[in-house]
Amino acid sequence: MDFQLPEVGFIRMLPELFLFLWAAFIITFDLSTGRRNSATLGYLAMLGVLLTGLIMALTVLFGNEGSTAGYFGSGFGTMFYNDWSALFFKIIFLGAAFMAIGSSFGIIRDKIINHRGEFFGLMLLSTVGMMFLASSNEMLSLYIGLELTTIPLFVLAAFFKDDKTSVEAGIKYFIIGAFSSALLLYGFSFLYGLAGTTDLTQMKINLALTHLTFHEIGVILILAIVLIVAGIGFKLALPPFHQWVPDVYEGAPTPVAAFLSVGSKAAGLIAFIKIFILGLFAFYGPEMVPNDWGQLVALLAVLAMILGNTVAIRQTNIKRMLAYSTIAQAGYIMIGMVAMNEYGLAAVGFYIFAYMFANMGAFGVVALFEDQTGSCQIKSYSGLAKTAPMLSVTLTIFLLSLAGIPPLAGFMAKYYVFAAAIDMAGSGAAYSWMYWLVGVGLLTAVFSLYYYANVIRAMYFYPDASPYKIKFTVPSYTVIVMGLAGVLMFGVYPEPILKLASYISLSFGFIPH
Amino acid sequence: MLLTSLVLVPLAGMLVVMCLPKGAKWTIRWTATAFSFPPLIASIWMVWDYFFNHSGTSLMAYVVGPYDWIPSLSIQYYMGVDGISVPMVFLTGLLSTVSLLASFGIENRIKEYFAFFLLLEAGMMGVFVALDFFLFYVFWEIMLVPMYFLIGVWGGPRKEYAAIKFFLYTLFGSIFMLVAILIMYFTSEPHSLNMMTLLDHGPTMSHTLQMVCFIFFFIAFAIKVPVWPFHTWLPDAHVEAPTAVSVILAGVLLKMGTYAMLRVSWPMFPEALRSLSFWIAVLGAIGIIYGALVSMAQKDLKKLVAYSSVSHMGYCMLALAAFSSVTAITGCMFQMISHGLITGALFLLVGVIYDRAHTREIAAFGGLGVKIPVYTSIMVYFSMAALGLPLLSGFVSEFMVFIGAFSAVNKYLVGISVIGVVLGATYMLRMVQNVFLGEFDLARWGGLTDINLREIITVAPLAVLTLAVGVYPKPLADMMTATIENLITLMAR
């Protein structure tokens, strides 16, 4: 028997390959120039992300659709698969990386003197991992993508070597990350045993067939589902797997925390979508009880929204506050995930897109403030509206977007998620529990306003002027303006992104009516 | 175009004000006021034109759209006005300009103040002209942000508490509205957020869903009105807010609640309305009596006026419960307008005395009529209007409310509510007596100056309109009749 090499389709992987090479180039460049140019490196990294995006756009636009030269389709057998959902999430990864790099110029100049190249290189490598993850259609490559995403992030979290909290953050993140990966892998091994394949599309068919034949796959599948939910739950920071989040966010360099909160979360999401909607779709609905993961995930979402939104109220450190806020935001995203209709996944996509702008923007402001004042306490923001009016306005807009106040993008995202859930809840008695999900989501959204408003209150309501003056820096302001533009533009006119996000639903087989 | 400009001109004004240099105080003040003039002039023209050309029908006038805005979710850009929104738009335009003029005394962070104020005006205008649910919701929410800042930055001693309480309380109400909107959206076929289409969809929904949606909308709107027992944010917000913001709060924001009931939940869910109208009347009656009783106990002038708002909005609720009577609904509209004029003016006048005396405690004053006669006469005029003196607008509206409600809702409830008029006279007259009559404390208030020209100019239009509506209410009633008759047919389905 002849062994036939699978179709390679390099063009589909071109952006990833380019970014990988660029990361290597940045590290080499830093070494060969004697580690002197801090800003140049940063701009180079930003340029690399932009070029990757450009390459991706060009291959999508000018690739020969339907042949091996097109962007969409599979490469390396079925290991690598590009569809609209992969493209959408890659845009988010690149956007998050771009904004995280933009807000790290301050720490690069003052704090990380000896490893600037590595800092940017690792960040780009992590982005490459996320992009691979988004394109993998199979458990092994999915796992490798996930590892390539998180391992550089362990290092990045501990990048302030002399700072106890940063090292603590790195260790914590490393141990919990490794543990969760192990759980995930354990779950995968059960799935492989049940389905006899690592290919997710084939797995769906095999598992459904087994289920239909024997009417009961049994406890092993439940075990696999629980293990995988736990494994990815760590990455998504869904309670009760969230304990690492506040400590890591507080200790890690702020841009890294920002990148974690958006990039890593989006990576977890796409992994979740791939495994559960591609592989385990048949076990979503209550008709397949007890192998039902929909309600399990809904429960975690409820926990996330309640816990994130209430604990955030008590925080005095803005990074910890934002950490709890991201836990809550993950809960809202998961509402879209369990709403299994043509809106659900599109809502997930739009939510993370809108969240990227608001959250990266907010972290951008926090990073800029920290660089110039050295403080992350909410009370240090007192009176900032008088000395840095524009910065205060933008931070206010980001926080209001996160709270879901119209006409900002965050509101549109919440609206879409809740719309998806209400549509699903009305579709039959078996799904009416989703009304409760919506109820909890909306109520906790009201709570969330309180802690976001706490920061706004400090900035605006404090009678005296702040002692700090925030100086203008080009890269930070690029990030902030980009976030602002996204939050305002996609709040007022979200149609193009909604359209693009609806292709995510489409690529997983949810046909809009 | 006309309606779009009502929203866009204040928004543009906000951006312009934000770009002005911080030190140019008078430039900022006049620029902001100048940007409130075009909407005011447009709304005056609209009242004129609507009265002569459109008041014969209940159709929407000056319609914009519907244009597709976010087609993925069937969200449209759709605006229009009819007989119940034209007076509200006029009231918004008038009170915005008046409040901006009354804000010239603000010395602290002027630029932000006027920018937020213009954003507030844009939001209020939007609510009264939006005909798409999503658009309506966006405007409804957008207002909370400037209001939060206006109370929180420029307010009184407990401003932070009042600001966040207002923000959270109203947001809490809005989430119910959001759920109701989404339920209506997904049960309509094809999915729609167009209020005019949904008017026909509402009654076809199942009884349970109608009740759910009605109650959800009611909670959202009742918090805004505020209907007893959702009124607790109001005294805090009013007392802490700066004068001009109180004027807007009482004059326009509270009306958004009753306006939205007439526009949305009443005609859309007639079945639910019929089964709940008694309880709505009960809430209205409680509001009237409770508000009046609490007003009597107030020691603070502003708090007195704030609680009198609870009482006066109770009349609106009582009238709304009498949904089958044209007189009652017209009375409700009259009450909304006259309360906007009278209470707006009362807040302005309380602000005038507070600026000079730095206290609002009723007991601290006495015999001021001797020292500041012009102020006294204006204040007495508006107090009389508030207690329902014939020939002033308050009397017309209360009379219509009672006449209409008497035959349409429970007679005993209306009977109890009439006591509210007596109580209203009690607290108003007591206030007048304690502040303006009696012994004058020369040592303490000897340096008090009378109301100045700018302040007279700000209350003058309100005084004139109060008298005009009171003496000759017919044009205003004629303007609304066709629309209200149409609403009543919709509610009788």
Sign of the dihedral defined by the CA atoms of residues A81, A134, A398, B96, in that order? positive
Q: Which residue of B has its CA nearest to A503?
A: B72
Phi-psi region of A196 (alpha: psi -120 to 50; beta: other; left: phi over 0): left
Higher pLDDT among residues B442 and B249, named by residue: B249
The domain of B395 spans 272-493
B235 vs B479: CA distance, rounded Å: 33
Nearest CA in chain B to A407: B138
In this prediction, residue B357 has a pLDDT band, given cuts at 50, 70 and 90, of confident
Separation of alpha carbons A101 and A93, rounded Å: 12
Nearest CA of chain A to the CA of B142: how many Å?
Answer: 6
Query: Nearest CA of chain A to the CA of B423: how many Å?
Result: 37
Do B330 and B364 sit in the same domain of this protein?
yes
The whole-number average pLDDT for the span A361-389 is 91
- HSE, side-chain direction, 13 A CA sphere, residue B96: 35
* pLDDT at residue B54, as a whole number: 86
Decide: residue B414, CB within 10 A, 0-12 exposed, 13-18 middle, 19+ buried: buried
Residues in A whose CB is inside 8 Å of some CB of B read 385-386, 389, 400, 405-407, 411, 415-416, 418-419, 422-423, 426, 438-439, 442-443, 445-446, 449-450, 453, 457, 460-461, 493-495, 498-499, 502
Q: Quick one: pLDDT band at residue A504, thresholds 50, 70, 90?
A: confident
| pLDDT score for A284 | 61
Q: How far apart are CA A377 and CA B33, in angstroms?
A: 39
pLDDT at position A366 is: 94
Q: Measured at the alpha carbon of residue A316, what is the angle toward residues A313 and A320, in degrees to the nearest 5?
A: 80
DSSP string, A54-117: HHHHHHHHHS-TTSTTSSSEEETTTTEEE-HHHHHHHHHHHHHHHHHHHTTHHHHHHT--S-HH
- Answer with the one of B215, B250, B268 that is the final residue of a domain: B268
Residues A21-40, mean pLDDT to the nearest whole number: 87
Q: What is the model's pLDDT at position A103?
A: 92
Which residues of chain A lie closer than 8 angstroms to B216, CB-CB?
none
Using CB atoms and an 8 Å cut-off, which of residues 86-145 of chain B contact chain A? 109, 112, 134, 137-138, 141-142, 144-145
Question: Measured between CB atoms, does B152 come within 8 Å of chain A?
Answer: yes
CA dist B187 and B202 (Å) reads 9
- Residues B287 and B399 reside in one and the same domain: yes
- Mean pLDDT of the B361-370 span: 85
Q: What average pLDDT does the segment B88-113 reach?
A: 90
Interface contact A443-B71, CB threshold 8 A: no
pLDDT at A62: 81
Residue that is written with structure tokens 């890294």 in the block: A256
CA distance A492 to B69: 9
For B410-440, give the secondary structure using H, E and C: CHHHHHHHHHHHHHHHHHHHHHHHHHHCCCC
> In the structure encoding, which two tokens stand for residue B228, read together?
């007893």
pLDDT beyond 90 at A468: no
Reported as a single tens digit per residue, the pLDDT across B96-107 is: 999 999 888 888
One-letter amino acid for residue A458 of the chain = A
Give backbone dihedrals phi and psi of A68, rounded to 5 degrees, phi first. Answer: -65, -15
A348-361 confidence digits (pLDDT tens): 999 999 999 999 99
Same domain, B239 and B286: no
Chain A residue with the nearest C-alpha to that of B163: A457
**pLDDT value of residue A288:** 46
User: By percentage, how much of chain B surpasses pLDDT 70?
Assistant: 100
User: Which residues of chain A does B144 touch, with a Cβ-Cβ cutoff of 8 Å?
Assistant: 405
Shared domain for B142 and B16, answered yes or no, is yes
Does one domain contain both B276 and B173? Answer: no
CA distance A500 to chain B (A): 11
pTM for the structure as a whole:
0.93
Last residue of a domain, one of B235, B268, B301: B268
Given a cut of 60, whether residue B151 has pLDDT beyond it is yes
CA distances to A264, A467, B134 from B6, rounded to whole Å, are 44, 40, 18
Amino acid identity, residue A23? A
A215 Cβ contact list (under 8 Å, min separation 6): none
Using a pLDDT cut of 70, give the percent of chain A over it: 94
First to last CA, chain B: 34
pLDDT of residue A1 exceeding 90: no
Confidence bin at A493 (pLDDT 50/70/90): very high
pLDDT averaged over every residue in chain A: 88
DSSP for A320-342 reads HHHHHHHHHHHHHHHHHHHS-ST
Quickly list DSSP for B375-416: HHHHHHHHHHHHHT-TTSHHHHHHHHHHHHHHHHS-HHHHHH
Of the listed ranges A62-66, A231-235, A449-453, B73-77, the least confidently predicted one is: A62-66
Contact B236, B161 (CB under 8 A): yes
Segment among A6-15, A333-342, B213-222, B425-434 with least mean pLDDT = A6-15
Domain identity same for B255 and B324: no
Closest partner residue to B160 (CB to CB) among A385, A457, A502 is A457
Residue B113: its pLDDT value, please? 92
- d(CA B485, nearest CA chain A) in Å: 34
Do residues B243 and B344 make contact, with C-beta atoms less than 8 angstroms apart?
no
Is the pLDDT at A65 greater than 80? The verdict is: no
User: Residue range B317-345: average pLDDT?
Assistant: 92
pLDDT greater than 50 at residue A289: no
Q: Does residue A5 surpass a pLDDT of 70?
A: no
Tokens representing A114? 């000896």
Cβ contact (<8 Å) for A426 and B187? yes
Q: What are the residues facing B61 on neighbouring strands?
A: B81
Whether B138 and B214 map to the same domain: the answer is yes
Strand ranges inside B38-179, DSSP E: 61-70, 75-81
Of the candidates A411, A438, A461, the beta carbon closest to that of B153 is on A461
Question: Higher model confidence: residue B312 or residue A70?
Answer: B312
Q: What is the pLDDT of residue A215?
A: 66
Residues B197 and B258 in one domain: yes
- Say which of A400, A457, A494 has its CB closest to residue B145: A400
Using CA atoms, how far apart are residues B30 and B13, in angstroms rounded to an integer?
11
Tell me if B164 and A445 make a contact (CB, 8 A cut-off): no
SS3 A437: helix
* Angstrom distance (rounded) from CA A90 to CA B355: 59
CA B343 to chain centroid: 9
Tokens matching residue A393 = 């306005």
The string of pLDDT tens digits covering residues B50-81 is 999 888 888 888 888 789 998 888 899 999 99
Beta carbons of A116 and A108 less than 8 angstroms apart: yes
Structural domain count of chain B:
2
State the burial class of residue A486 (Cβ atoms within 10 Å of its Cβ: 0-12, 13-18, 19+).
Answer: buried
Q: Phi and psi (nearest 5°) for B79? A: -135, 155
Specify whether B187 is located in the same domain as B106.
Answer: yes
B478 in the same domain as B345: yes
B15 contact A CB<8A:
no
B471 touches chain A (CB under 8 A): no
* Nearest CB to A502; choose among B72, B145, B168: B72
Q: Chain A residues with CB inside 8 Å of B148's CB?
A: 453
> Does the distance separating the beta carbons of B145 and A406 come in below 8 Å?
no
Instruction: Mark residue A509 as left, alpha or beta (left: phi above 0; alpha: psi -120 to 50; beta: remaining).
Output: left
Q: Do B413 and B452 fall within a single domain?
A: yes
Closest partner CB to B152 (pick from A445, A457, A493): A457
Q: Does B3 touch chain A (CB under 8 A)?
A: no
Q: What's the token pair of residue A442? A: 């909306």
* DSSP code at position A469: -
Q: Which residues pair with B81 in a beta bridge?
A: B61
Burial of A330 (0-12, 13-18, 19+ CB in 10 A): buried
Nearest CA in chain A to B176: A442
| Residue labelled with tokens 């008590």 | A314
Mean predicted confidence (pLDDT) in A172-189: 92
pLDDT value of residue A207: 82
Cα–Cα distance measured from residue B345 to residue B361, given in angstroms and rounded to the nearest whole number: 19
Question: Which chain A positions have a beta carbon within 8 Å of B186's beta carbon?
Answer: 419, 422-423, 426
| Count of C-beta atoms within a 10 Å radius of residue A201 | 14
Give the pLDDT score at A290. 41
Residue that terminates a domain, selected from B268, B289, B313: B268
Cβ contact, residue pair B70, A499, below 8 Å: no
List Cα–Cα distances, A509 to A142, A324, B294, in angstroms: 20, 34, 61
Rounded Cα gap, residues B335 and B333, in angstroms = 5
A446/B112 CB distance under 8 A: no
Chains A–B, number of C-beta pairs less than 8 Å apart: 80
CA atoms of B277 and B290, how far apart (whole Å): 20
Regarding whether B381 and B236 lie in a shared domain, the answer is no
Cα A184 to chain centroid, rounded: 18
The pair of structure tokens assigned to B353 is 């005395």
In the block, which residue shows the tokens 């636009």? A61
pLDDT above 60: residue A512: no
Name the B residues in 58-97 with CB < 8 Å from any A CB: 69-73
Dist CA B62 CA B53 (whole Å): 11
Other beta carbons less than 10 A from residue A276's beta carbon = 23
- Show residues of chain A in contact with B163, CB under 8 Å: 457, 461
Domain residue limits, chain A: 301-513
